Structure 1
């Protein structure tokens, strides 16, 4: 482990991933494993001084997806859930004060049959290491850490959390960590969704210029979070020369209109495949950080998504950039 307690620790990140990804975890398919993972997260947050609130939910007739393993994207696995009961964990620092917060979140569940090291123990590990670093701030920042349930069933937990947080003190911004630990430096390792080059020519050209190497973190943002995306990219470059941030702006507006436009432009739907989307849908600026999941990682949603496949030094740099962005979330003009 690093001797400097103010820096992210790659060994600590690996320890978190190894515990969480010891087995598949799901409220429906592996409830015991999910309870063990939840207890681990709660204990780790509490140990470094965070106050953790467990927020259970009980919802009916939710349009979502199936959490069976496989490489298909969320949008291609629709399912209507008759009833779902789960729980999110929300944590804050004592003395942080009142007012709108920045949310840093990741989902805890994995799909059936997959230990989910990258998807998404990697994201939860970053949340836990972010907790340790923020607890050392001289003035407690107004940051809420969120660990979501049932992302793999269609962002169910994040929908509940976004509603609860928006009705509380309000949310200035949100950072979603979605599959952030897998990197591949070889040429041709990065693939693009069908139709992506036509809809997002600049990001496609940047990927092509680097010979389709999977050596970057994709920072998905909208106009409302463009300044935060730039801040994250600069912080990542300062944290490690080995971590490149590639910005991708979703041209849709925040709110319901953006959700409806996505139904008509399928490539755009890939940009809303994680827990930031419910925040966007409520008009809240948000970022999704991702290694692009199934477009890079051959282990996505499979039994081979294990801790040994991840790059923990780069994951530490992802953590560092996330901490910097969370404590200094920049304001951006509202999306038009």
Structure 2
């Protein structure tokens, strides 16, 4: 989060201005056990801060501004280029909904060498496609990206529970609030050593702080900054005479290893 913020700040100090607003937020209690099954921090942030802020600055009809959306990053540092390091659990029947993605994984011998972007096809497509194109525009092509576009509006009650692994982070609360959101992840406990170390003592700096993992994380941070630049409609001007009145809003988030930002 801080690295993408640093890049944005450097641009601003160099004379960049933006047509759209960027807001960074951080919240916790994603996995806090409750009657709501967690995600308490983002729910509180939306209800107690974001909605009042939007209403104060843009009025009751802020939704007409068409927010670009929120990017939720949840575990994004585990890279593994070994064959069969990416687990596809047998209960993940929803993978049948992503034939191109599954075909790509098979052609790579199920290497855990990608960042996964999870989004709703009809509602988050612009944000997802911008993030995807900026990722592909960055160097280091060995770090790949795979898209999981869910036909969210046509998921039936019978198949809803099959998608649990795609709904396990704070993007869900933004979906419920009609704010576009994409979920970016390395797949957490479905990759390499995290099958054993996820939420256990071996999830530590000794195991996770490798050159490849840091470079993988670096590409993610660079892509975030590039996506923010694109969606905030950054332009160069004399900083002493520039104004910054945003007409659209977009959001990006990381919390406790996740980030939240709003454009």
Q: Would you say same fold, with TM above 0.5?
A: yes
1:130 aligns with 2:25: no
Q: Count residues with an aligned counterpart.
A: 200
Q: Evaluate the alpha carbon distance shift between residue 186 and residue 272 of structure 1 in structure 2; reply closer, same or farther with a 3 A threshold.
A: same
Quote the RMSD (CA, aligned, Å).
2.3
Q: Offset at 1:241? A: 1.6
Q: Does residue 173 in structure 1 map to residue 47 in structure 2?
A: no
Residue number in structure 1 paired with 2:131: 232
8 A Cα contact 2:68 2:127, kept in partner: no
Q: Which residue of 2 aligns with 1:158?
A: 42
- Give unmatched runs, 5+ long, in structure 1: 1-126, 332-336
- Contact kept, 8 Å, 2:115 with 2:186, in 1: the verdict is yes
Deviation at residue 263 of structure 1 after TM alignment = 7.5
Q: 1:245 aligns with which of 133, 137, 145?
A: 145
Aligned equivalents of 1:263, 1:319: Cα separation in 2 = 37
Are the counterparts in 2 of residues 237 and 243 from structure 1 also a CA contact under 8 Å?
no
Residue equivalent to 1:268: 163
How far apart are the structure 1 equivalents of 2:42 and 2:190? Answer: 23
Residue 187 of structure 1: how far off its partner (Å): 0.5
Deviation by residue 1:267-292 (Cα, 9 ceiling, x = unmatched): 32211111111001111111111000
Equivalents in 2 of 1:215, 1:266: separation in Å? 27
Could you say if the C-alpha distance between residues 300 and 263 of structure 1 is closer, same or farther in structure 2, counting changes exceeding 3 Å? farther
Ranges in structure 2 where 5+ consecutive residues have no aligned partner = 33-37, 55-61, 233-247, 249-263
Shift of 1:319: 0.5
* Closer/same/farther in 2, CA of residues 145 and 233 from structure 1, 3 Å limit: same
What are the Cα deviations for residues 151-176 of structure 1, in whole angstroms up to 9, with x where unaligned? 11111001112233134325431011
CA contact (8 A) 1:262 1:268 kept: no
Change (3 A) 1:208 1:282: same
2:104 is matched with which residue? 206
Task: Give the one of 7, 26, 30 matched to 1:147.
Answer: 26
* CA distance in 1: counterparts of 2:158 and 2:46, whole angstroms: 21
Q: Which has a greater percent of strand?
A: 1
**TM-score (normalizing by structure 1):** 0.55
**In 2: Cα distance, 1:245 partner to 1:198 partner:** 18
Partners of 1:319 and 1:231 in 2: how far apart? 15
Question: What stretches of structure 1 move > 6 A for 4+ residues in a row?
Answer: none
Q: Hey, what's the Cα distance between the residues in 2 that align with 1:200 and 1:276?
A: 20
